[in-house]
Structure 1
Amino acid sequence: MSEKIYIGVAWPYADGPLHLGHIAGAYLPPDIFARYHRTKGDEVLMVSGSDQHGTPITIKAEQEGKKPGEIAAEYHQQFLDSWRRLGISFDLFTSTGTANHTEVSQDIFLTLYNKGYIYKSVMLQPLCPRCRRFLPDRYVEGICPYCGSPGARGDQCDDCGKPLSPVELIQPRCRLCGTAPEFKDSEHFFLKLSAFRDRLLDWVKQQTHWRQNVLNFTVRYLEDGLKDRAITRDIDWGIPVPLPGFDGKCLYVWFEAVIGYLSAAKEWARSTGDRERWRSFWQGEVKGYYFVGKDNIPFHTIIWPAMLMGYGDLNLPYDVPANEFLTIEGRRLSTSRNWAVWLPDYLSRFDPDPLRYLLSINMPETGDTDFSWREFVRRNNDELVATYGNLVHRVLSFVYRNFDGCVPEPDELDGRSLALLAKAGETLSTMDGLLYRCHFKEAMRSAMSLAQETNRYLEEKSPWKVIKRDRPAAATALYVAISVISCLRTALYPFLPFSSIRLHEFLGFKGSIEDLGWQLKSPPPGQRLPEPRPLFSKLDDGVVGEESGRLGQAHSTGG
């Protein structure tokens, strides 16, 4: 029976290009998940968009002599291009700059306000006397009062995960100029998170299917108690507070950005011609998954669920499969020091599937993992090219040359052949269970294990030699190998869509892979095969030094 699957993906901030940390943490996993569910025949809606509001964008606009909307539009277009080239298959990638998002965000604000879950209060807000501006929380840095980390931000400490406010930091300083900020009274609106603590804790403890790190973090956070959080800021670039007398104040970015999950579904529904269609992904029998990096866990397991509880009549998240961090060459990723691999740069020189492969087999699901150019080249050459790509190319090339470009007719299958076909079916079944539970790394390993076993089978059967004395035996071995390759095409499609679609065509199939379903679908004997080409290209070892040398160098982050 098919399911309805809603996939909300973290909204990238539109003030700079995407890097591999973003992709490994929040953008590749949901695409794998969406492609898998679509192939199973489930109804999927995957949405996200550019987070276009807030002070960082206004600061970047000032630095570049542009308007904030120009900066946001520039990176939004760059994001769209990156998704297309990397194969991230959103049903809708929108932005927080739409009239629809403003409407939905203000509706949620007013509903929570009228229900008493939002209230006015005076707070101390940091003002930089040198920059002469109120600073957003993340533009104040200092020492974490909980763990002593010297690099904590005014919204959160990345080392201990605790949410913070600027006034809590020890020795706070302006991130832009290093000056100690002054704290001024300012009237703002607060979300009464404290009112939801017990309901949230009861709900979270029932989510035993969550990843252990996500569950433990959330429970610990809730047991420590919830503080009410300010949801407005003194800024004119954003969504205005929808009440009279609050000119110059906008909804705080973290509050309105998560509302994008709902506003995007409503925008998508309008685009289909059925304005109410969003409800089928937000009410009733539907599972909602939110893919984010670990620094966004509390916003998706506590704050957004609290907002939904207060608003009413909308489903809470089913799962938040947050990933840990990706380091680069053994060091923590740093965009300010250009210790990063930028996605547009990567895509300008390399194919997408090798990157998707490495980030899948090395995904930071339960702990931080590292990206190195040496490992990238090794896995491309030894695994994608030598193990999987060579298997496909030598089988299809040999069949094309020796069987008139058609799938050969098999003879009776022996025990070894039947066992391999059974393993192919078992691999699809195993991967089904793993992908359903968001275990992407393990699922990829299962597929590659099947490719390795098929190579061993061909070494044993050696059809390239046997064909001279026993053509039916060679035909049988090749038919079995083609059947397993067809299985791998389906199994690897969520991970490696570009090469899988090409393989789909090399196997003589029409239509899409998703149309054939998550099943072992072998091309029938006699099916015509086009002349094959290699799925992957071997990389020169010189790539390691060349690409590693780019790290830390001056980099233009423009579009």
Structure 2
Amino acid sequence: MSNFKRYLVTAALPYANGPVHIGHLAGCYLPADIYVRYQRAQKRDIKFIGGSDEHGVPITIRAMKEGVTPQQVVDKYHALIKESMEQMGISFDIYSRTSNQVHHETAAAFFKKLYDDGLFEEKETEQFYDEKTNTFLADRYITGTCPICANPNAYGDQCERCGSSLSPEQLIQPRSTLSDAVPVKRKTKHWYFPLQNYEEWLKGWILEGHTEWKNNVYGQCKSWLDSGLQSRAMTRDSSWGIKVPLPDTEGKVLYVWFDAPIGYISATKELTEEWADYWCQEDTKLVHFIGKDNIVFHCIIFPAMLKAHGGFVLPDNVPANEFLNIEGDKVSTSRNWAVWVHEYIQDFPGCEDVLRYVLCSNAPETKDNDFTWKDFQDRNNSELVSIFGNFVNRALVLMHKLCGGKVPPLHTDVLDNTDKNILAEFEIAKTRVEESIENFKFRDALFEVIDLARKGNKYMQEKEPWIVAKRLESDPEAQKLIDNCLHICLQLTANLAILINPFLPTTAKKMLHLMKVVEKMLDWENAGKTKLLSVGYSLRAPELLFRKIEDDEITAQVAKLKAGLIKPAQPAETKPATDADTQPDALKAQIVYDDFAKLDLRVGTIVAAEKVPKADKLLKLQVDLGFETRTIVSGIAEHFQPDNIINKQVVVVANLAPRKMRGIESNGMILMAEDKAGKLHFVNPIDAIDNGSSVS
């Protein structure tokens, strides 16, 4: 099906200024991984490139907020992002970082070649400057009132409240985020890349040569090209980044969107000495997986850079996804409205494939989609548990019960049309999954896999081998009918393992374990075959592939999301506070006494406390309740040092169901109060009281 000798797949480099959330996964990392795993199963030569983008304004802003150096910021978040990717099964061949020396050298050499070829325009312009800190201000270093929605804390490039794109000149009462000073204009020199010189070439390459690209990608490119391209600065005034490789350029670095995509090249250099085969040979298929906010950089700016430099392949496709909203509202890291991947892994250990399934089946492939915790629960319980997992489990249970735990033979003399039809579905499903993945329609591909399991359940229900078994003593053909049904169901199970592997790799490996077969069976050439498991081969006892997600888990996640929301800052010039303004948050819905009586609140004393490794917010506490000492994991690490809370008396919800967090079973919850500044305070007795005393 492919005319390419090798494949090179990249996924957008996330900024190393914070953890990744599920919107990142749904946007590019999960679809990229599905595509790569499928191509590997096809035994194609493919490299999957990723890494952290460690330069640019977001890094320095985070460093400023945390009172640390930019290097400390990127070291912290690179490690966290890399771990999250690994735990979610995103199978990069390399996950690099743009702070590596090889990247600095590669990006600097790329810039120098364009400069030596006379392709840059050198311009002196006026830019905003902070006189207090003697710093030129990037757009993100300038805040002010949004002219569209009156948000008093809009950035110089965008208002995160209304989403409008802005320039610093548009802000009302702009100020520097470094010192709160009013910025002034000063002259500065930079090097501009003349995109307009490549406009006609881009029109031919994209608008005529890539009409197969997704409508959202093609449409956005056409809009940019129809509007006319302009020169774009490829350098910035900053002390953090890749130094401009020219004389007398102290304090100037490469623009992050110039250096970041070159990170794909430098990471490939790190990975293999044959990196040039993947970047410079025309029989390479280069595919960029990104979110829609990166389309212009990967479809217009970076290809124009590659064309200007010469010698590099251009992207064959850029299958960008739209955005994933959360519970009806767009993701906002500044407001903490996000489901963070590392926290999901803590809260749902062993359920990484469930999140992969939900994010793929609800992927924002053609339009923005919405993630809700209720939909997460429903898809897990009604599709993974009740359809896919149910079929596999029933097939293995009935094989052990009715066929002695071994793969039964197929008796062709009693095969009927129902049997033949379901066997034909194996190849049909393979073809449909294959075509969908090749065309970047991962949601459709996953539907076909689940639909095959659905058809398997229907087939088994029609054949009813458990009913046929009641005729064994009187009907000599009964065992043949049972054998045929379960032989076909087991072969279907083997096909499901192959087809689900790109989407749910951990689940596929569990299925291999149950079938006692090696990983080679997952090769794509085996999909659609009807004789994958040998007759007479004994299989392991069944184990559930998925667990049911309970209502209280979903309630807890929704509450956690809402509790972590940071409300937008209010304007500084407001009317005088009234009594109404200083009232506490509105009361929750009214309850009856019986609801309250279900809580068992006890006084306890913290006798030991320590930080949970790799979890910035969690402390592991030992709490003496008088009648026993409990381990409780509490999200208070950002507010209290472990040594300062020893011997502190607290109120504990003592009858809360145990829950694992970061592999630690937590048996209870500490009651806390939050003031208007967001600071947590213990709810504890004024006077010392016996541990274990009830609170009522």
TM-score, structure 1 as length reference: 0.93
Q: Show the counterpart of 1:297.
A: 295
Partner residue of 2:561? 551
Could you tell me the percent identity over the aligned residues? Answer: 38
Select which of 229, 232, 242 maps to 1:229. Answer: 232
SS of structure 2 residue aligned to 1:289? strand
Query: What is the aligned counterpart of 1:459 among 444, 461, 470?
Result: 461
In the alignment, the residues of structure 1 paired with residue 150 and residue 458 of structure 2 have an alpha-carbon distance, to the nearest angstrom, of 52
- The separation in 2 between residues aligned to 1:93 and 1:450, in whole angstroms, is 35
Alpha carbons 1:106, 1:241 under 8 Å: kept: yes
User: In structure 2, the residue corresponding to 1:94 is in which secondary structure?
Assistant: strand
Q: 1:244 to 1:47 in 2, by over 3 A?
A: same
Residue 342 of structure 2: aligned partner: 344
Deviations 1:207-241 (A, max 9, x none): 01100111011011011111111111111111100
Measure how far apart 1:141 and its partner are: 5.6
2:491 aligns to what? Answer: 483
Helix, strand or coil at the partner of 2:230: coil
The TM-score, its normalising length taken from structure 2, stands at 0.75
Tell me the equivalent position of 1:272. none
- Contact 2:143 2:177 survives alignment (8 Å): no
Are the aligned partners of 2:143 and 2:174 in contact in 1 as well (CA < 8 Å)?
yes
Question: What secondary structure does 1:321 align onto?
Answer: coil
Q: Quick one: distance in 2 between partners of 1:175 and 1:375?
A: 43
CA contact (8 A) 2:42 2:523 kept: no
1:488 aligned partner, one-letter code: L
The residue number in structure 2 matching 1:501 is: 509
> What's the counterpart of residue 358 of structure 2?
358
Give the aligned residue type for 2:380. N
**C-alpha distance 167-175 of structure 1, shift in aligned 2 (>3 A):** closer
Within 5 A, what are the aligned runs for 1:186-335? 186-205=188-207, 206-269=209-272, 275-335=273-333
1:129 CA drift (Å) = 5.4
* Contact 1:158–1:295 under 8 Å retained in 2: no
CA distance, structure 2, for counterparts of residue 159 and residue 301 of structure 1: 28
CA contact (8 A) 1:337 1:552 kept: no
Q: Name the amino acid aligned to 1:199.
A: W
C-alpha distance in structure 2 between counterparts of 1:59 and 1:309, whole Å: 33
Q: Which residue of 1 aligns with 2:80?
A: 78
Distance 1:324 1:153, change over 3 A: farther
Mapped to 2, the partners of 1:10 and 1:159 lie a distance apart of 25
Distance 1:119 1:20 in 2: 40
Conserved in 1, the CA contact under 8 Å of 2:146 and 2:172?
Answer: no
Pick the structure with greater CA Rg: 2
Distance 1:444 1:312 in 2: 39
Task: Tell me by how many angstroms 1:557 deviates.
Answer: 9.0
- In the aligned structure 2, how far is the partner of 1:390 from the partner of 1:172? 61
Mapped partners of 2:278, 2:227: distance in 1: 36
Of 491-500 and 2-11, more deviation after overlay is shown by 2-11
Matches of residues 378-457 of structure 1 in structure 2 within 5 Å? 378-412=378-412, 413-457=415-459
Change (3 A) 1:368 1:129: farther
CA change 1:452–1:159 in 2 (3 A) is: farther
1:119 to 118, 121, 124: 121
CA separation in 1, counterparts of 2:131 and 2:554?
46
1:532-552 Cα deviation digits (max 9, x unpaired): 211000011112211001114
Superposition pairs of residues 126-137 of structure 1, within 5 angstroms = 126-128=128-130, 133-137=135-139
Q: 2:96·2:267 contact (CA, 8 Å) conserved in 1?
A: yes
Distance between the aligned counterparts of 1:235 and 1:452, measured in 2?
Answer: 57
Shift of the 342–97 alpha-carbon distance from structure 1 to 2, 3 Å rule, reads same
Shift in CA distance, 182/300, structure 1 to aligned 2, threshold 3 Å: same
Q: How does 1:153-168 map to 2 (within 5 A)?
A: 154-155=156-157, 166=167
Q: Which amino acid aligns with 1:551?
A: L
Shift of the alpha carbon at 1:174? 4.9
Contact 1:5–1:281 (Cα < 8 Å) also in 2: no
Unaligned runs of 5+ in 1: 270-274
Q: Give the gaps of 5 or more residues in structure 2.
A: 472-477, 566-613, 618-696
Match of 1:56 in 2: 58
The residue aligned with 1:101 is: 103
Q: 1:143 to 1:66 in 2, by over 3 A?
A: closer
Counterpart amino acid of residue 22 in structure 1:
H
Q: Give the count of matched residue pairs.
A: 552
The CA distance in 2 between the partners of 1:77 and 1:31, in whole Å, is 20
Give the conservation status (yes or no) of the 8 Å contact 2:142–2:155: yes
Matched, 1:524 2:534: yes
- Alpha-carbon distance between aligned partners in 2 of 1:472 and 1:66, rounded to the nearest angstrom: 72
Contact 1:17 1:557 in 2 (8 A): no
Over 3 Å counting, the alpha-carbon distance change for 1:121 and 1:172 in structure 2 is farther
Q: Which amino acid aligns with 1:189?
A: W
TM-aligned CA deviation for residue 531 of structure 1: 1.9
1:63 CA drift (Å):
3.0
Q: In the TM superposition, what are the counterparts of 1:25-44 in structure 2 within 5 Å?
A: 25-44=27-46
Task: Report the RMSD for the aligned CA atoms in angstroms.
Answer: 2.6
CA displacement at 1:80 relative to structure 2:
1.6
Letter in 2 for 1:476: N
State the SS of the aligned residue for 1:5. Answer: strand
Distance 1:157 1:108 in 2: 33
CA contact (8 A) 2:7 2:278 kept: no
Q: Is the CA contact 1:389–1:535 (under 8 Å) kept in the aligned structure 2?
A: yes
Partners of 2:537 and 2:274 in 1: CA distance:
45
Residues 13 and 52, structure 2, Cα contact 8 Å, conserved in 1: yes
| Alpha-carbon distance between aligned partners in 2 of 1:113 and 1:162, rounded to the nearest angstrom | 34
Q: Alpha-carbon deviation of 1:56?
A: 2.5
In structure 2, how many angstroms separate the alpha carbons of the residues matched to 1:353 and 1:381? 13
Decide which structure has greater helix share.
Answer: 1
**Within 2, Cα distance between the matches of 1:158 and 1:513?**
49
Deviates more, 1:148-157 or 1:289-298: 148-157
Assess if the C-alpha contact under 8 Å between 2:399 and 2:486 holds in 1: yes
Q: 518-527 vs 235-244, which deviates more? A: 518-527
Task: Give the partner amino acid of 1:355.
Answer: L
Say which SS state the counterpart of residue 470 (structure 2) adopts: coil
Does structure 1 retain, via aligned residues, the 8 Å contact 2:49–2:92? Answer: yes
Query: What is the CA distance between 1:553 and its match in structure 2?
Result: 2.9
Q: SS in structure 2 opposite 1:468?
A: helix
Q: String of CA shifts for 1:55-96, please: whole Å, max 9, x gaps.
A: 322232233332221211111111121111100000010000
Maintained 8 Å contact 1:40/1:514: no
Paired residue type of 2:321: N
| Greater relative contact order (CA < 8 Å, ≥ 6 in sequence) | 1
Cα pair 2:428 2:528 within 8 Å, conserved: no
Q: How far apart are the structure 1 equivalents of 2:402 and 2:526?
A: 31
Give distance in 1, aligned partners of 2:150 and 2:454: 46
